[in-house]
Amino acid sequence: MDVMIQWTYTTPKKQEVMLTSEMLPAEKALLLAEDFEKTGRVKQLTFIDRRNITWTKKELIKLLREIESEPHDVIVYFDGGFDHETMEAGVGAVIYYQQNHQPYRLRVNRRLGELKSNNEAEYAALWFAVQALEELGVHHSPVTFRGDSHVVLNQLSGTWPCFEKDYNAWLDRIEARLKELGVEAIYEPISRKQNKEADQLARQALEGKMIESTSELGRKGIDANE
């Protein structure tokens, strides 16, 4: 979680000026804020996150303690496959995260019907991944989304425009749910080779093989796709 510090500084001649820092990791921001307060010249110190939500020092400390016991440092890999004959899709998501100082990996997939194209399957896969995050209890935390559908990720990031009505509906749905969860989304397009785990899950879903498993990992397992 990143925040910026905003505080009122009082000079030795009792003049006041409001100062704002750059965006910083919340833990670092708290340490700097404590140093500022030691000068005895700080008033109305607050923290503002990327969603423009304001936190007091006490509230931010409490939030960070809560986050430590919940899933955080989340990286999501997603992929969707489409069968033109059956008009069905297979979607897969691999979620790496930390909880209570331990790294985990969640692997899950699903078979979906009534889709129209491979591109739509990719949107559905990301939506499926967001739903998995909600079930996992991820909220008020940055999440990195990685997939080989550069169209989906670049449209979500705003880099590319989206003119298709059906795809815009998926984008609106995804963005609304992320906002509800307080998730700060970071979109990173990757190659198909780097997305092999999610791709395999999507293919297995089309074959009728459903998977949902969570496993503890060693430190080396976190970037297994890279």
88 and 154 together in one domain: yes
Residue 226 lies in a domain: no
Token pair 């503002």 is found at 48
Please count the structural domains in the chain. 2
The dihedral over CA atoms of 173, 148, 80, 198, expressed in degrees to the nearest 10, equals -110
Question: Which alpha helices (H) appear in 39-111, and where do they start and end?
Answer: 57-68
Cα-to-chain-centroid distance, residue 135 = 14
**Tokens 């970071």 appear where?**
186
Residue-number span of the structural domain to which 120 is assigned: 72-221
Q: What is the CATH number of the domain that holds 195?
A: 3.30.420.10
Model-level pTM greater than 0.85? no
The encoded tokens of residue 182 equal 């307080």
Query: Can you give the pLDDT of all 226 residues of the chain as single tens digits?
Result: 789 999 999 998 889 999 999 999 899 999 999 999 999 999 899 999 987 899 999 999 998 887 778 898 999 999 999 998 888 999 999 999 999 889 999 999 999 988 889 999 999 999 999 999 999 999 888 899 999 999 999 999 989 988 888 889 999 999 999 999 989 899 999 999 999 999 999 999 999 999 999 999 875 555 545 4
Look-up of token digits 């000079």: 11
Structural domain includes residue 111: yes
**Nearest Cα to 201, choosing from 82, 76, 79?**
79
- Give the angle 70-72-77 at the CA atoms, nearest 5°: 125
